[in-house]
A and B are shown apart, each in its own frame.
Chain A
Amino acid sequence: MQSSRRKFLLGSGVAVAAASAVGYKDMLGSVVTFSDKGEKAKDSIYFNSSEAEYSYLNEKFVPNDAFKVCATTCIGCTTQCGVRVKIDKKTDKVVRVLGNPYNLLSTDPWIPYNTSIKESYTLLSQAGEFETYRSNVCARGNVLFDKTYDQNRVLKPLKRVGKRGENRWKEIDIDTLIDEIVNGGDLFGEGKVKGLKEVRDTKTPINPEEPIFGPKSNGFCILGTTHDGRVKTIVHRLLKSYGSANYMGHTSICGLSMRAGEAAYLGNFKKYPHLKPDFENTEYLLSIGTPPGQAGNPFKRQGKLLARARTEKNIQYTIVSPTQGNSDTIAVGGRSHWIPIIPGTDLAFVMGLLQIIINSKTYNASYLALPSAKAMQAAKDVSWTNASHLIIQDEEGFGRILRDKKTPLVLDTQDMQLKHADDVIEAVLDYQGMVEFEGKTYKVRTSFNELKENVNELSLEEYAKECGVSVDKMQEVAKEFVSHGRKSSVDCHGGTMHTTGFYTTYAVMMLGAMVGNLNYKGGMSPGGGAYKDYKGKQYNLFGYKGKSKVHATRIDKTRMAYEKTNEYKKKVAAGKNPYPAKDTWYPFTNALESEIITNSAKGYPYKLDVLLTLNSNFMYGTSGGEGHIKELISDPKKSIPLFIAIDPFINESSRYADYIIPDSVLHETWGIVHAWAGYQTKINTLRFPVVKPRQAQFKNGDPIEVISFAIALGKKLKLPGFGEKAIKGNDGKWHAFDKVEDFYLRAFENIAMDGKPVPDASDEDIRLSGIESYVPSLKKICGKNWRKTAYVMARGGRYEDIDKSYQGEYLSHRYKKPIQIYNETVGRTKNALTGERFSGTVKFYKQRFANGETFEKAFPKEHFPLTAFSFKSNVLSTPNTASTLLKEIRYTTYVDMNPKTAVKFGLKHGDIVRISSADGSVEGYLRLRHGIHPETIGVEHGAGREGEGAIDLEINGKVTKGKISRRTGVYYNKLGLHDSSRNTALTADFVCGSNARQAIPVKVEKVT
C-alpha cells in the first residue's frame, strides 16, 4: 500500500479511535475499573426497602430499635383516619405509614381497645390474625408525608413584596409580623391598613343602621378548611375571645347541599347531623352520585365495607351518577348497577322514585303513621316522622305545624279526632281539609299530603325526560328499593353541589323515610358519636373568663333571616314591597365560605377588615373563584384590606395574602378529630407531633403553627383566655395556656377520663408506641392521670369496641329527633330576592339562579350542548399537591367524554380541547371512555394547580421554579358561573347557598 494511504488510514484511525473512546467513556470507565454504576442498594436482596419495624418469628416479638412507631391521624383528606407512622429515629423522618388497628376508619373489625400495644403489632403478623384485623392506608395516606420535605414548603413567616398575587415574598421575624398585623399602619406602602387592635371594637356597631349586625370586631373573619382538630380551638379560644362571629369552614364548597338537605330531613339546623348507610349490613344501597370506594367520607371505610359486603354478604347496589365510578367491578357480576344520569337532574330521578313509591302505596304506611316518640316506643320502632303532622294552610300562620303549645296535633285513625301526637298510636297520614281546634277552624294538610302532591307535580314521563332515565328503570329501582324494607339505604354527597342540591338531598333522604330505615341495622346511621374531649370531665377547655357571647350577623348572611333586618322593616314600614332584598339571605345555613369575599366587596351586610385563613383554599375549591373572586381579592381596597394566611404551602388562595405564617404538616400537628360519618361506635382520633416540625419556632420553643400563633396573637392583643389562669379545671384550679400541649394534653386527658376511665398505660405500651418523649409533659400536665392519658395517646385515640355497634336489629347510637317529612323552618322561609316561599317538603326544581330564572333559559342547549361536572379522585386531594409521590400515582387529570359525543364534535382521544361555560374556560387533554354519560363532560378534581409549587415562588429574591407535574391537569372550577340574578355572586343552591360546581352548561372545541 502506498504510504500516503497508510498515513491516511493511520491518521483517521487514531482520530476516530479517540472519538469512539470519548463516546464510550461511560461504559469504558466502568469496565476498566470494574466499578459499579448507580447507587448501591441497602441490601443485596431487599434492595432499598427499609428494615421491618419489628419481627415476630416463632412467637417471639422483637422490636427494631432503629425505629419508633407512633399512632397518629392522617389528615391527608377529610376522612382523617387513625394511622401509625414508622419513624427512623436517626433521621427523625417518617419512612412508612401503617394502619392503626384500634381505629375503625382504618380497620374493620378493629381490635378491642384494651389490647396491649405489643399484641396490636403481633396480631397483624403472619402468625397473628391479620386477615381479621387488616388495617390499612389509602394511596394518599401512604405517600403524602413526602410533602413535609417539599422544597416549596413555607418554613419562615413571609410578608409580600410587590402586589398581591405576584407570589413574591420576603422572610420576616414572627414577632415583627405579629406586631404589624396587630398595630397596622402603612404596611405595604399602599396606604394605611387597620390592625387587629383597631378592628377589635366590641361596642360600636359595624353598621349603625343595622345594630343587629353586631360590633366592629366582626370585621375579623377566619376561614378554615375541614375540622382538622384545631378549628374548634381557634373558634372558641381566639375568635370568640376576640369578639367576632365570623368563622367559616369549607362546607359551602364541599358538600353543603347534602348537609343542609339532611339537616332539613333530620330537623336540626344547629348541629347539621347527617346520615350514612350502614354499609356493612345494608341489602340495597342506592347512591346518588357518591360511589363508595371512589368518593365520599369515610373513603377507606366505605370502600372496605362495600368490598366485603359484595363479596361475602348479600348487597345489591345502584350508583346513579354521570360517570361509572370505582364502586363497580365486573368481578361481582350483577350485584352492582350503574344508572348514568345528567348532572343536576338527580332531583327529577328521585322525585320519580318517590312518586312511584307513594302512588303504588309501597311505602311503610304503619311506620309513617307513628306520630310521636311515644307511638314509636309502643310500636317497638326506633325512629319516627312528622308525616302525619298537620300544616296550617291559612294565610295566617301558613306553613306552621298545628300544635297545642309545643305538642303537635294529629288526627287519630281510630276516630278521626284531633289529638296530641303523644296520645295517638296511628295517625291519619294523608289528609287535606279543615280541622277545628280550640274553637278556631284551620285549613290544614298533613306533611305526607303535601309530599304526595309535590311528587305528583310532574308526571313520571316528565321526570324521566328531565333526567334521561327511563320510566322502566325508575320503576325497577323503586321496586327494588322498597323490597328490602329497612335494609335499604341511600347516599348522596358532592354530586348534589348544584343549584337545586338542597332539595335533591332532601328527596334522596325522603326515600329512606318511605321504608323507615333510620337507626336500623342495614339502614341509615347518624354515626356513633365520640367521647367528650374539649368540654370533659377534667376541664372545660372552651370555658374561660371574658369569653364573649357574640350576637351578630355573619358576613356570609347565614343563620339570619332577611325579615329581621332594618332594611326589611323600613321597606315594610314605608308600605313598599320588601322584596327583593339587596341580596340573598340564608337563615338556616350555618356557613358560606364562598360568599365572604363577594359580600365584603359589596359591603353587604358589611365590609371585612382582616381575613385570617387556616390552610384554607377557597380559590381553588370555589366554582368560579378564579373568574370572579380573584379580581376582588387581588386589590386590598376591594374586599379584604388585610389578609393573613397560615399555610405550610402557598396555595391558590394564600398566594393573595399579605402575610404567610408557616404551619406544621401532617404528622407534626396536634389535634382531635372524630369520624365524620359511616360508623356506629364512639371514636376520637388524636394526634400530636411525632416528628419534629421543620418550621421556625417561637421563643418558647413552640413551632409556629395555628394554635401557637393563636396563643402569641392572643397574648399580644391581651385577649382573655391566654397566658396565666386561662384553663379551668373542673376541680376549680386554674392553669396557664402558654404552649400548645397545655391545651391538647388536657383534652386527651378529658377523653381518657370520660365515662369509665381507660386503664393505665404500661411502660411497655409507652415504649412501643414511641411516646416516651411526652412522659415529662404528661406527668407535669396530667398529674396522676398521666398514664391514662398515655394509654389514649399510645392507641392514637379512644375507641368504643365493635360489639357495641348494634342492639339486635337496631343501631346502638341512634338519632333521636323525628324525621321531617315537612320541615317547618324551611316551609316558613322566603327567598329574600323574590319573596317566594320555599317548599317545606321536597319539590322539583330545575337548575336555576337565585331568583328562579332557569339555566335552560339562560344557557340554551344550542350554545351549551353539554353539562360539566367534577368528580372526586380516589388518589388526589387538594391539599396534597406538594406530594411529589402522589403525582406519580396520578400524574394528571383529563377532560372525560363519551366516544359517541366525541364523534359528534369531531374530537379524538388525546386531543387538546377547550371547555367553556358562559363565564370561564379551561383546557385539557380529552380522554374518551364509555363510562360517562354522552351529554356530559367530567373532570377528576384535584389537578391543574396554580399553587403549592405549581408556579414560580420568590422568597428574598430567590426564585423556586414551578413544577409542571403540579400545574398539569384540568382546573375544573374555572368553569364556575356567575349568578346574573345577584350582584357579584357565584351560582349557588337557591335555598342553602352552597357553591354550585356541578351541572354547568358548557361547550367544547378543539384547540388547534
Chain B
Amino acid sequence: MDNAQHIMTLVSSITIEKPWGIDVPNYFWFTGSSAAAFIISSFAHVFGWKKYKPIAGIALLMAFVLLVAAPLNLVDDLKQPGRIMNFFSYGWENFATSPMKWGVLLLIAYPILIFFEAQALYRPYFVKIAQQSRGLTKMLNTLLAFGNMDLSEKALAKDHKKGYVLGAIGIPLALAVHGYTGYILGAVHANVMWHTPLMPIIFLASAMVSGTGLLILLIPLFQRFLSERKSVDRDMVATLARLLSWFIVADLVMRFLWLTFSLTFANGEKYALYQYFSLHFQDTLWIDYVLCLFVPMIIGFTKLRNIPIVVYFGGLVTAIGVWLFRWNTVIGGQEIPRTTPGFLHYTPHVFGQGSIVSVLSNWGVLFVLICIVLLVFPWDEEMEECYKGAENAK
C-alpha cells in the first residue's frame, strides 16, 4: 500500500500449507465439462433441436464418462482415501451446511441417470446387435437392453419418452452437479476470491465453455477416425464453434460481474484480492482472457469458424483456458493469505497422491472409459442414423 501510514515490514513469520492440490481444479474441470456435454445432448433430446441430434448421443456418453472419472480426483485428493466410508457413516448433521455432502448424492445420482438415458437411447441398437450376434456379444447386448427386446413402435416411443423425461430431469441435475462445486467454493466465506453467490453460475458458464471446447476436439476425432463416415461434419464443427462463442459471452459476463463486484464494490477484503490480481495481472490478462476466451470467441463469431483447424485450436485453448481458470481459482484462491503474511506458493508433486501423475492418471481413466463406451455403445450407428434422418427430413 502506498500510504505511508500503512507501511508494514515483516520480520518473522511462518507460512502454512494449503489443503487442495492439483486434483481439485481437474475435478472441477471434469464435472463442468460433463455438465456441458449433457446440456448439449439435451438440446436434441429435450429441446428437440434437430441440429444437435447427430452429436447428442456421443455428447451424452462423454457426459457419462467424464463424470465417472471425475470423483477419482476427489478420492485422490483425500489424505485418508481408505476412510471413504466415514463420509457415508457420519457427518449427516452437517448436511445442510456442507456442500460436499450434497455432492456425493449428486455424484451418485447423476451418472446413473445418464446411464439410463443412454440406455434408453441406445436400446434399439443393443437389441439389433443382440439379434445379429451370438455368444458373449449377444449376452452383453441383451443385458444392456435390460432384456427388453421389443422393437415395436410403442416400445420405441416409450424409449423416447423415457429419454426425454430422464433428459429433462438430467438438466437440473447436471446444473446441480457442477453448480454444487461452485457452491463448495462460494460457501467459503474465509476466501475472498471464492466467496460470491455468483460462483456456481460462474462455474457453470465456464463449464459450458470447456465442455463445448472438448466436444469440438473429440467429435471430429471420433467421426474422422472411429466411425464409418471417416470424415468430419464441418457444419457441426462450425455450429459448435458458434455455440462456444455464445458460451464465452456468457462466461465473460459472469466473470465481469464477479470481478467488478469483488474488486470494486466489495468490502475491505477486496484489498487482498487487488494484491493477488496485481501479482498475476499479466498472465491472467493475456493467457486467460485474450488467448483462451477472446480468440475462440472471435473464431466462433466470424467466418473463421468454417476452417476446422482454427476451430480445433479454439476448442483446445478454451478447454485449456478453463482448466487454467479452475486452477487459478482453486489454487490462486488458496494463495491469498488470511491472517498470515505474504502469498503462499503451491507446486504440485510429480508422484504420489495429489500429484501431476494423479491428474494424468485421471485423464488416463477418462481415456479408458471413452474406449469402453465407444466399444460398448453403438454410437456410430446411432450417429449415422441421425444424419440419415436429417437428410431424409430435407
Main secondary structure on A side of the interface with B: helix
User: Is the pair A23, B82 in contact by a Cβ cutoff of 8 Å?
Assistant: no
Distance (Å) between the CB of A493 and the closest chain B CB? 21
User: Which single residue of chain B is at the shortest CB-CB distance from A927?
Assistant: B11
B375 pairs with A9, CB closer than 8 A: yes
Among the stretches B42-50, B103-111, B187-195, B355-363, the one at the interface with A is B355-363
A23 touches B85 (CB 8 A): no
Stretch at the interface among B197-205, B266-274, B315-323, B365-373: B365-373
Asked if residues A931 and B368 are in contact (CB atoms below 8 Å), the reply is no
Contact A1 B83 (CB under 8 A): no
Select from chain A the residue with minimum beta-carbon distance to B360: A23
Q: Is B1 in the interface zone, CB < 8 Å from A?
A: no
B-side contacts of A23, CB under 8 Å = 357-358, 360-361, 364
Chain B, interface size category, equals 35 or more
A395 at the binding interface (Cβ < 8 Å): no
Contacts of B352 in A (CB 8 A): 26
A33 contacts chain B at the CB level, 8 A cutoff: yes
Task: Give chain B nearest CB distance to A791 CB in angstroms.
Answer: 42
For residue B288, which residues in chain A have a CB less than 8 angstroms away from its CB?
none
Q: Which of A2, A10, A12, A27 contacts B75 (CB 8 A)?
A: A27
Q: How far is the CB of A11 from chain B (nearest CB, A)?
A: 9
Write the chain A residue with the least CB distance to B10.
A929
Q: How many residues of A contact B (CB 8 A)?
A: 33
Known: A24-B358, A930-B9. A10 touches B371 (CB 8 A): yes
**Listed stretches A13-21, A466-474, A565-573; interface member:** A13-21
- A27: which of B9, B76, B380 is its contact (CB, 8 Å)? B76
Q: Residues of B contacting A16 with CB < 8 Å?
A: 364, 367-368, 371
A931–B11 alpha-carbon span in the complex (Å) = 9
Q: Give complex CA distance A931, B10 in Å.
A: 10
Q: Cβ of B85 and Cβ of A20 under 8 Å apart? A: no
Q: Are B81 and A13 in contact (CB under 8 A)?
A: no
Known A10-B371, A13-B367: A24·B72 in contact at CB below 8 Å: yes
Contact B368 A930 (CB under 8 A): no
Q: Is the Cβ of A34 less than 8 Å from the Cβ of B72?
A: no
Cα distance, A19 to B357, chains bound together (Å): 10
Interface string of A487-503 (1 = CB under 8 A from B): 00000000000000000
A37 within 8 Å of B by Cβ?
yes
Given the complex, which residues of B lie within 8 Å of A13, measured CB to CB? Answer: 367-368, 371-372, 375
In contact, A33 and B79 (Cβ under 8 angstroms): no
* Inter-subunit contact B81/A17 (CB<8 Å): no
Across the interface, A20 reaches (CB within 8 A) one of B75, B79, B82, B368, namely: B368
Q: Does A270 contact B (CB under 8 A)?
A: no
Let me know if B7 is at the binding interface, CB within 8 A.
yes
Interface status of B196 (Cβ within 8 A of chain A)? no
Within 8 A of B (CB), among A28-81: 30-31, 33-38
Known: A9-B374, A12-B371, A928-B9. A31 touches B358 (CB 8 A): no
* Closest residue on chain B to residue A24 by CB atoms: B361
Chain B's closest residue to A17 (CB) is: B368
Q: Which of A205-255 contact B (CB under 8 A)?
A: none
Q: Is the CB of A31 within 8 A of B374?
A: no
CB distance from A638 to the nearest CB of B (A): 42
Q: Among the interface residues A9, A10, A33, A35, which one has the most CB atoms of the partner chain B within 10 A?
A: A9
Binary CB contact string for chain A from 345 to 386 against chain B (1 if under 8 A, 0 otherwise): 000000000000000000000000000000000000000000
Contact of B358 among A17, A27, A929 (CB under 8 A): A27
Is the pair B79, A38 in contact by a Cβ cutoff of 8 Å? yes
- Contact at A37–B81, with CB atoms within 8 Å? yes
State A242–B371 Cα separation when bound (angstroms): 89
- Does A405 sit at the interface, judged by CB under 8 A? no
Q: Is B84 an interface residue (CB 8 A)?
A: yes
Q: Do B9 and A929 have beta carbons less than 8 Å apart?
A: yes
CB–CB A19/B361 < 8 A: yes
Q: Which A residue's beta carbon lies closest to that of B11?
A: A929
With A and B bound together, what is the CA distance between A927 and B10 in angstroms? 9
A274 to chain B minimum Cβ distance, whole angstroms, is 30
Cβ-based interface call for A5 (8 A): yes
Judge whether B33 is part of the interface by a CB distance below 8 angstroms.
no
Complex Cα gap A13–B65 (Å): 13
Is there a chain B Cβ closer than 8 Å to A6's Cβ? yes
Query: Which chain A residue has the least Cβ–Cβ distance from B82?
Result: A30
**B157 at interface, CB cutoff 8 A:** no
Question: Most chain-B Cβ atoms within 10 A of its Cβ — which of A23, A899, A927?
Answer: A23
Give Cα distance in the complex from A927 to B81, angstroms: 42
Q: How far is the CA of A10 from the CA of B375 in the complex (A)?
A: 8
B368 and A31 form a contact (CB under 8 A): no
Interface string of B343-362 (1 = CB under 8 A from A): 00000000011000110111
Within 8 A of A (CB), among B64-94: 72, 75-76, 78-85
A890 proximal to B (CB < 8 A): yes
Specify which chain A residues have a CB less than 8 angstroms from the CB of B358 in the assembled complex: 23-24, 27
Contacts of B309 in A (CB 8 A): none
CB contact between B80 and one of A17, A20, A22, A36 (< 8 Å): that residue: A36
Q: Assess the A6–B76 pair: CB atoms within 8 A.
A: no
Contact of A1 among B79, B80, B81, B380 (CB under 8 A): B380
Q: Which of B277-331 contact A (CB under 8 A)?
A: none
Tell me if B80 and A30 are in contact (CB < 8 A).
yes
A930-B9 Cα distance, complex, nearest whole Å: 7
A27-B352 Cα distance, complex, nearest whole Å: 8
Q: Is the CB of B361 within 8 A of A36?
A: no
**Shortest distance between the CB of B344 and any CB in chain A (Å):** 16
Q: Are A30 and B81 in contact (CB under 8 A)?
A: yes
> Across the interface, which residues of B come within 8 angstroms of A24, CB to CB?
72, 76, 358, 361, 365
What are the 3 A-B residue pairs with the smallest beta carbon separation, nearest first? Answer: A23-B361, A13-B371, A20-B364
Please list the residues of chain B having a beta carbon within 8 angstroms of any beta carbon in chain A.
7, 9-12, 72, 75-76, 78-85, 225-228, 352-353, 357-358, 360-362, 364-365, 367-368, 371-372, 374-375, 380
Residues of A at the B interface (CB closer than 8 Å) are 1-2, 5-6, 9-10, 12-13, 16-17, 19-24, 26-27, 30-31, 33-38, 890, 899, 927-931
A-B contact list, 9 entries, CB within 8 Å: A1-B374, A12-B371, A13-B368, A13-B372, A20-B368, A24-B72, A33-B82, A34-B83, A931-B11
